[in-house]
Amino acid sequence: MNGFELITPGKFRDYELLDCGNFEKLERFGEYITIRPEPQAVWPRLWSEAEWKKKAHVRFVQKSSNSGDWQKLKQMPDQWKMQYVLPNKKSIVFRLGLTAFKHVGIFPEQSANWDFIVESIQSMPVERPKVLNLFAYTGGASLAACAAGADVTHVDSIKQVLNWSNENRQLSELGEIRWMLEDALKFVQREVRRENTYQGIILDPPAFGHGPKGEKWKLEENIAEIVQGVLELLDSKHHFLILNAYSLGMSALVLENLLKAHAGQQLHIGELYLQAQSGVKLPLGVFGRFLIVHKS
């Protein structure tokens, strides 16, 4: 095991965290600046409220634990686009939108993992690696894997999100991706029974969630079971795995304990964060990841 790492994305032209604090964050997505809730930002903001309002186009106002409304401070569209350039110089494009759940359709800190996906696929002596993306949301990891030449299976439990992911694929001018409207745990269990294997697997599970048929997901209760299944699905010779956990109180040591027996010294654990223009660092979840390639 290679110790604890702090990882932040490199140059992301279309995204920037400007400041955060008082349980909010000020971010630039393309040419538009948003204010959104952020439970990790427990410290005072470094820039004044007046500075935030002067810069921002829109602010999310929480109405309940799961939803709210956007208050427009300046004129802007409800939908727009941004892109990210991968290590292989290919661009992936995202359609963003002002949803009722404070999200806009992208988790920018995950671009550090998109780079890892591309580099892992490029390092494998496999013509078209099979990659499985679980809890896949709007598909940043799926797009990165597809752009690197992988055969991608994308699993999510919400049909509207699958459609959004496919829209991003089309905007990115990428080849086909296999879309699965499934409960992630049930899909993994079925793949294990079928003895299918993958050269790459990405998991980004929520703290709580539901499958398309009402299946309940709770991170602390289900993570060990799904990780056990996922490890069985990995190709015996060449494979990579990324496990993210954005949940308050979840330690990277939990991920180390789940993965170290399989990955050994190849395991990297740590914390993803974004560096704000104001100087503060915003933590955005823990990760465990590894790449194993056997030389013939």
Cα four-point dihedral sign 244, 248, 252, 253? negative
- pLDDT of 79: 97
Residues 23-74: tens digit of each pLDDT: 999 999 999 999 999 999 999 999 999 999 999 999 999 988 778 999 999 9
- pLDDT of 210: 81
- pLDDT of 296: 63
DSSP state letters, 180-219: EES-HHHHHHHHHHHT--BSEEEE---SEEE-TT--EEEH
Radius of gyration of the chain (CA): 19
Beta strand ranges found along the chain (DSSP E): 4-7, 15-21, 24-29, 32-37, 58-62, 68-72, 79-85, 91-97, 130-134, 151-156, 178-181, 200-203, 208-210, 216-218, 238-245, 268-275, 281-293
Regions of the chain where pLDDT drops below 70? 1-2, 248, 296
- Token pair 């048929």 is at which residue? 213
| Domain regions of the chain by residue span | 107-293
- pLDDT of 190: 97
* pTM to 2 decimal places: 0.95
- pLDDT of 295: 76
CA distance to 79, 94, 98, 111, per residue, from 33 (Å): 13, 16, 12, 19
Share of the chain above pLDDT 70, in %: 99
Decide yes or no: CATH 3.40.50.150 for domain 107-293: yes
Q: How far apart are CA 155 and CA 215, in angstroms?
A: 15
Ramachandran class of 253: left when φ > 0, alpha when ψ lies in -120 to 50, beta otherwise: alpha
